Structure 1
Amino acid sequence: MERLWHVEDGIRLPALVWRAGDGWRMASSAVLGGGIGERAWVLNAQVPHGYRRTDPARHLAALAHRAGARGAGVGLMTAADVTRCAHAADGGVEAAVTVGLGVSTWAASPEDGEAGPPPAGTINIVVAVPAALTDAALVNAVATATEAKVQALLEAGHDCSGTPTDAVCVAARVPRPGEEPHAFAGPRSPWGARLARAVHRAVLAGAAAEPGRR
């Protein structure tokens, strides 16, 4: 990933850009470019703590444009230090994870969520799979990445399943002519198992290096 810089509220902050290029389909929960479709880049931008803008998608699109990213892409944001991005690979699958646990929680909480735009997310997972996956398998891969994240957080000693605004982006190759995409990406499927191991190692490294609650 390429590191770039931007200024927000007078603070110089980093952003990470993966220029994937053509030939990739991505499934993401990101505020910009979420859903499933062909995407050419991924931006993971650090924003100030207490981020209050109500147009995060527009903000991310502007940052991506300034970075020279063209076409459709995925934009994520976080208050975590993206220069501490943790990387891991397994059998061709590559994972890049930024971890910040200042607002950690369990997914199933008795408290209702707050209305309105959420604060900047703190754990962002980006995974590249060098194989073609069906839409269902892409969704399956997002679930597998999330399972691996929770496993790593627990192993790192964190009493949580993540933060309220974590985001995931899984990229897979566009099928070649006549190629049959893989229909499964669960943790015991060939590509899902590799994805799970890569994400697990990256989140474990990022969580272990987390300097404390922000």
Structure 2
Amino acid sequence: MTAVLPPPRTPVGLLRPRCLTRVEDGERLHALLWVPGPGLRMISSAVLGGGIGERAWVLNAQVSHGYRRTDPDRHLAVLASGAGARGPGVGLMTAADVSAYAHAHDGGAEAVVTSGIEVRGWAAAPAADTADTPDTAGTDGSVAPGTINIVVAVPVPLSDAALVNAVATATEAKVQALLEAGHDCSGTPTDAVCVAARVPRPGEQPQAFAGPRSLWGARLARAVHRAVREATPAS
């Protein structure tokens, strides 16, 4: 992949993704690559690099609507390596056009969001609506652009518990933004999130909380809320 598209805006602060493009199976596809380097701990639900640990990069890659590969983690790793990313990282995937990302910041917390909501609903759907329906399948059996990917960065260290708390806070802010935009849903079946925080310096105590009424949780929530609203068209 090569960088051929300028980002829609110039983000400020830590979270500065590069917009990349590639041709895959005859289709022009985009990706966002953020390479802040070492010194960050991340928590993520991503298929590549998920969980909690030190990570050096984040890739949010667009794939075709008919995506059928059974090794998305390997696919993402190859894409990241081809773009120059080195070391452990986080790889997210979506059928939405990631070049139309939204960026927001609040008091040092930042969020970058890509959004596709053609496939959406409530998390606690009746069992009959979900039992035989793969998370990634559209009504025609293809992968529809129904994924909201959220990447958040804060310039302070967070404890493991606070990282988990930050994921919950980002999700709450996403749902609030969707409802305010007129969408009767809590998200899509394939939404993913990644929260990055600085590794603590020697003797430094990580922040213990990241709920919506904590200092950094509140800033994170406002950044995610604005970015989701900007990335998601109103109903």
Q: Say whether the fold is shared (TM-score over 0.5).
A: yes
Match of 1:182 in 2: 207
Distance 1:178 1:93 in 2: 23
TM-score, structure 2 length as denominator? 0.86
Match of 1:138, SS? Answer: helix
Match of 1:46 in 2: 62
Q: In the alignment, is the contact (CA less than 8 A) between 2:63 and 2:94 conserved in 1?
A: yes
Distance 1:46 1:36 in 2: 24
**What stretches of structure 1 move > 3 A for 4+ residues in a row?**
113-121
Number of residue-to-residue matches in the alignment? 210
**RMSD of aligned alpha carbons:** 1.5
Match of 1:109 in 2: 125
TM-score, structure 1 length as denominator? 0.94
Match of 1:65 in 2: 81
Q: In the alignment, is the contact (CA less than 8 A) between 1:28 and 1:167 conserved in 2?
A: yes
Q: CA deviation at 1:112?
A: 2.7
Distance 2:32 2:68 in 1: 21
Cα deviation digits, residues 56-92 of structure 1 (max 9, x gap):
0010000001001000000001011101100000000
Gaps of 5+ in 1: none
Match of 1:31 in 2: 47
Work out whether 1:168 is the aligned partner of 2:184.
no
Cα deviation digits, residues 96-148 of structure 1 (max 9, x gap):
00010010111000123447784566100000010000000000000000000
Seen in structure 2, the aligned counterparts of structure 1 residues 201 and 113 have a Cα distance that, compared at 3 Å, is farther
Match of 2:155, SS? Answer: strand
Work out whether 1:196 is the aligned partner of 2:226.
no
Distance 1:207 1:32 in 2: 25
Seen in structure 2, the aligned counterparts of structure 1 residues 64 and 114 have a Cα distance that, compared at 3 Å, is farther
Match of 2:73, SS? Answer: helix
Match of 2:211, SS? Answer: coil
Identity of aligned residues (%): 75
Distance 1:202 1:108 in 2: 24
